[in-house]
Amino acid sequence: MCFVANMIMITDIVLQMNNQILINMDGLFQKFFAIHEYLEGNECSIEQPRRELCSQLISIQLFANFFYSIYLASLNGALNSKELREQQAHLKYVNAYIIEGYKALWGYKKNNKSLWGKFLEYYSSAKDTDNFDGIIQSITNSLNAYKESDVTDKDERDLAMHYQLNKGGSPRELLKLDEITIVKELERYKQFGDVFRSLIECVTELINHYLFMKSDEEMMRVKPVLRPLTTLDQNVWKDKLEELDTRIIRNINYQSQNFSSCKEQLLKWPKIIKRIRDLYNININDYYDILPTAEAMLAVSYMSLDLCATIKRYFDSVIPIERAIALSRMNVICNTIIERVYGYTSRRGSYWERYLTKPYRGHELPSSLVEIKNIMDNSISANLYSNEKRSAFVHLKKDNFITAIRFLYTQNPFEEIHNSIAIIKVLPKIQKAISDSLKQIGDNIQARNAKKFIWVDRLIKQIEPHKDEPKMKGLYQSFLEMKKGNVLEALESLRTMI
């Protein structure tokens, strides 16, 4: 059997196993969420401190189900992807949620506030046997040891969740996500998974011992509180699925190509400008005014690709919990896009301020930007995106995962899809507005340099005798375009310089 065929067979086996686990997850969420609510309610007759211990164990069980579902959904999305950056869009959540999962389970600083830290406290008060002490200590040691590993990457986590490293960060930081590979992410999970599996096996035994064996009859009376997830909404989309799928795939491919083009510009143009400055002692810093537009275009391309990959996964999957996770990601992605591009309460630091409207300061905004503003304002007024929901899905610590599970089971697919498609449609308008702003940037440079073109004329005269030489031809053409005020054409002519 050839290597490719073997890999396809292995992939199919992994997908089948993942799918079966995800199919069963709905029932597990139903069961343990109902028990969690019961233990937290007034009807429970279990005495303290056992009740507190059982409640914490069920919380850990729910966390484990939620975390593992996210991992499997991310892996499924990657394995089903046909395009590399579509695959990376799913894979980036592996690293991100391992970091969030570890923070919730044990934490990098305050262990006593973590899920496992609280369990240790309650266990010491309620334990009735020493049989579990050895494995509990082993897990605690493993969690401590994992803290010292460098297998995860916080920068990748921040970019995956926020599209930037720090407030007001550069969009070019997103280039780091282009380094993600499935091999690297699987290795990351393997190292964390060893600790995770041991912990879950232990928790399962502890739940059986302290809850089901001692309060079996009472647990049998617990009734579900979550409505089962369904795929009924697929019937609404079935007549449009083929068209939607075609458009989404086309956009993923287009945005991936656009991302590559912007990446090339950002990596190549500064080198060209620096080389000319160093070789010929020429001040062409005006060319740097063009680079921010490439940064903005790169970011918007990534956002569009990211959202399309998630929408595609939603429609491709037939597993309710996987579709619910895709919906939650749409919400987080759209929330983050609005925050980065436009801002919820202020435009300060947004792409709107830094890239889209900056070239027009002192000028009337074009109608295309007014249209974008109206669309963004309408998306905000829809009130579908909240900090509470985003925080629940992004940050798993402090029992956020309990809130996230509740949101998973109460999402409105029609609202999420409708608003996500609205965002998908506005992103190309934003890209066109960025392209259109280049003309305004060129006009601004021309106006700024109206009295400075003497240096251009001087250089043109110096270079003219050598204009047909291979390395000088591009430079000569560039200065001719610069004199006309055609900044983009001038920069394009410099490609031959490096």
pLDDT at 31: 96
pLDDT digits (tens, 9 = 90+) for 52-106: 999 999 999 999 999 999 999 999 999 999 899 999 999 999 999 999 999 999 9
Peptide bond into 366 cis (omega under 30): no
Nearest 5 degrees, angle CA 76-CA 80-CA 86? 100
Q: What is the pLDDT of residues 227-237, one digit of tens each?
A: 988 877 777 77
Can you tell me the distance from the alpha carbon of 410 to that of 416, in angstroms, rounded to the nearest whole number?
A: 12
For residues 29 and 225, the answer to whether their CB atoms sit within 8 Å is no
Query: What does the domain layout of the chain look like in residue ranges?
Result: 3-222, 235-448, 449-498
Place of tokens 């029609």: 414
pLDDT tens digits in sequence order for the chain, 498 residues long: 454 455 567 788 888 999 999 999 999 999 999 999 999 999 999 999 999 999 999 999 999 999 999 999 999 999 999 899 999 999 999 999 999 999 999 998 888 899 999 999 999 999 999 999 999 999 999 999 998 888 899 999 999 999 999 888 899 999 999 999 999 999 999 989 999 999 999 999 999 999 999 999 999 999 999 998 887 777 777 777 788 888 999 999 999 999 999 998 888 878 877 776 776 666 666 667 778 888 999 999 999 999 999 999 999 999 999 999 999 999 999 999 999 999 998 999 899 999 899 888 888 899 999 999 999 998 888 777 888 999 999 999 888 999 999 999 999 998 899 889 999 999 999 999 988 887 777 677 666 665 555 566 777 777 788 888 776 777 788 777 766 656 566 666 666 555
Query: DSSP string covering 184-244, please?
Result: HHHHHHHHHHHHHHHHHHHHHHHHIIIIIHHHHHHHHT----SPPP--TTHHHHTTTHHHH
pLDDT of residue 83: 93
pLDDT at 240: 78
* Tokens 């041991």 -> residue: 198
Give me the pLDDT at residue 491, please: 65
